[in-house]
Structure 1
């Protein structure tokens, strides 16, 4: 029987989601906790890989269990065993062919920035004190919403069959001393959002104009885009699946 598990985590202490040799990852810690509670090896598959230091408001993982295993109190037991920076939120039974990664139809991310030093946002948001033109940055969002090939914003030497991503929504908003970027798409490339934000910041600082921003996308050359912003401002926010996969 296959299950989807919704989890949240503060990625500060981890080298990303995916299991790595000689490094602590969220997948490793979660798998060890599940295996201990269920007394069998549990292999988890995530909806996507978050990099070192990236957080998740909602990450979805799937795993398979024997039908005879009782799961009624699994969330409670998991939260008792998991460290304080990882929480288990909801367990749902799904169709046996449902896949946390490949069944997803939409993924949403949030990038958080703040303009004034705050001890409460340290490690959770990118401190950026220079002025930004959010109107111009939102115009750059209009460009990416009609774009398809994002090779210019992908990490180089990445193993993908295509650099095409369909952006469903993207916008910047500000409130008091905080500035947030929201973006949703069918898929994202490695490093894409952090490079996208870094390049949009160049627009917001008037270091490049919208024509240059579009030319960067058209170039398919990562060296022409902006630098990646820090990982600690990035959050995996939500993943949407077809309703029919749930039982």
Structure 2
């Protein structure tokens, strides 16, 4: 068997998230169907680096699959892009060592969340419009508190199947991207279900003056989802990067 990583991007608007769903179209299902059609192998299974919720986008997602013969990666990339709908694009296909795993071998993942403070018809599908002024300086101060902790139970969706709620935060900061646009960048070795949207929602509470920086700290220490803020809409969230050790890749 030969194992390959697929690097792809997608607009999540029309999908019920990455993972195969019983009652809706998913990105994983659509990609798998394209691979089966091109390679004529019904046994192909696609494993992603993680899950994105309904409506969430990916500027970069990574997935792996196995096949019994060696492939021309450039040809696979081209053929998949011809078969896939316009809202999914494959950047490249790379052969990796047989035990490489798109999810478990990832060393970090990076997400960005976009906020706009004015009405803009051109970004309305990809940014969350807020109507109240936000104190982004305070929000950045609160974001730095994340580095003091590893247990983020307060920001996790309830009743998930993970064994631990521990994550190591590597980046967490707000930056101004335009006169009325702000972006929150967060990087960690792993993320819990709904974690980024819950963190952003709680930081917005700080920005609105409804929660202090110390209050944000207490939310984390409570280890209770009910203590945190409401999850913000998924349409403004993007998975933008995933890192892997270089020794996983074969130069063939």
Fold-level similarity (TM above 0.5): yes
The 5-angstrom pairing of residues 72-221 of structure 1 reads: 72-174=74-176, 175-221=178-224
Contact 2:15 2:55 in 1 (8 A): yes
Question: 2:182 and 2:74 mapped to 1: Cα distance?
Answer: 40
TM-score normalized by the length of structure 2: 0.96
Question: 1:71 and 1:238 mapped to 2: Cα distance?
Answer: 21
Give CA deviations for 1:134-188 in whole Å, capped at 9, x if unaligned: 1111111110012111001111111111111100111001121111000000000
Residue 11 of structure 1 is matched in structure 2 by: 12
Give CA deviations for 1:70-107 in whole Å, capped at 9, x if unaligned: 44411111111110100011111111000000000100
User: Displaced runs of 4+ in structure 1, greater than 3 A?
Assistant: 68-72
CA RMSD of aligned residues (A): 1.0
Contact 2:73 2:94 in 1 (8 A): no
In structure 1, runs of 5+ residues without a counterpart are none
In structure 2, runs of 5+ residues without a counterpart are none
What SS does the aligned partner of 1:34 have?
helix
Residue 33 of structure 2 is matched in structure 1 by: 32
What SS does the aligned partner of 1:102 have?
coil
Deviation (angstroms), 1:203:
0.5
Deviation (angstroms), 1:222:
0.7
Question: 1:112 and 1:7 mapped to 2: Cα distance?
Answer: 21
